[in-house]
Amino acid sequence: MKFSHFLTSLLVLFGVSCESRLFAATFLFGSDGVRNTLVGLSDASVTVDGVTMSLTAGPSGALLDDTDSQGLGIDARSLPGALDSTSGDRTKLNILEGTNNSTSSGESLSFSFNKAGVLQDLLFDGVKDETLEYFLLTFPNGTTVTIFDSQTEYRLDLQGFHLTDLSVPSPIECQLEDDDLTGINYTFQAGEIFSITYGEGNFGDVPGYRTNPNVPLQFPNSLGNGARLQGMVVATVPEPAASAIIVLLACIGVGARPNYRNSRP
């Protein structure tokens, strides 16, 4: 019997003996979930199937905005120089200054859960490959990955560049064309904080790159226009079995792709 099969069997037996079951809680924003509930709040919480997610808009002074049907955004209009106060869209996460260079900072969202579990999937909307848009995902242990659209490497390759040419930490792509990153498999404890931050690749890293060589006017200013968080999927275990089963899940997840769980500092 393979080791992973043994662990899976042990997990099932343990769960049954404790009268517990592993289940997925799916948090959705927009027309399929929470909408017009969080707008104007800097901090909020959402509960799904007994699991509560706490959310904080960033940077300090920014507000949550869930008024759009496609997902959750950040409203930074109160911040000096924020793009949202001029041409930006307050229903998206966006670059604050409206420029994609090495000094740009983006709107962000921090989140945590009231129960231990496994972060499985992140669901985004509108992450565009042409303008090299991405989300930085920072895990509770400090590890950071940079999530691009599923076609970004392909678009860069057409012009002789690669994702690794961009000065971002650990670049990866969404597996699906609808901007979803699945199979993250990161185990966490209650209260541990994740964050996502919007960004755009520095065109200085890819000199001469054009957003769309075949249709030059599609993105004439070479700037992205933000993206949204549509939701996320987490797996949790009812108490009192949570801690023991999470340890087993961490073992089972070893070798899965992608698996971003590292030892804690």
Residue 258 lies in a domain: no
pLDDT digits (tens, 9 = 90+) for 145-197: 999 999 999 999 999 999 999 999 999 999 878 899 999 999 999 999 999 99
Residue 87 lies in a domain: yes
Average pLDDT over residues 133-140: 97
Residue 58 lies in a domain: yes
Q: Which domain holds residue 47?
A: 3-253
* Cα dihedral sign, 138-142-143-144: positive
Higher per-residue confidence, 251 vs 45: 45
Q: Are strands 117-125 and 228-236 parallel, antiparallel or unpaired?
A: antiparallel
| Number of separate domains in the chain | 1
Residue 164, burial from CB neighbour count under 10 angstroms (0-12, 13-18, 19+):
exposed
Residue 265 lies in a domain: no
Residue 33, burial from CB neighbour count under 10 angstroms (0-12, 13-18, 19+):
middle
Residue 77 lies in a domain: yes
Residue 213 lies in a domain: yes
Is the pLDDT at 231 greater than 80? The verdict is yes
Helices (H), 91-233: 152-158
Residues 6+ apart with CB under 8 A from 83: 76, 94, 95, 96, 97, 98
pLDDT digits (tens, 9 = 90+) for 56-99: 999 999 999 999 999 999 998 888 767 665 556 889 999 886 55
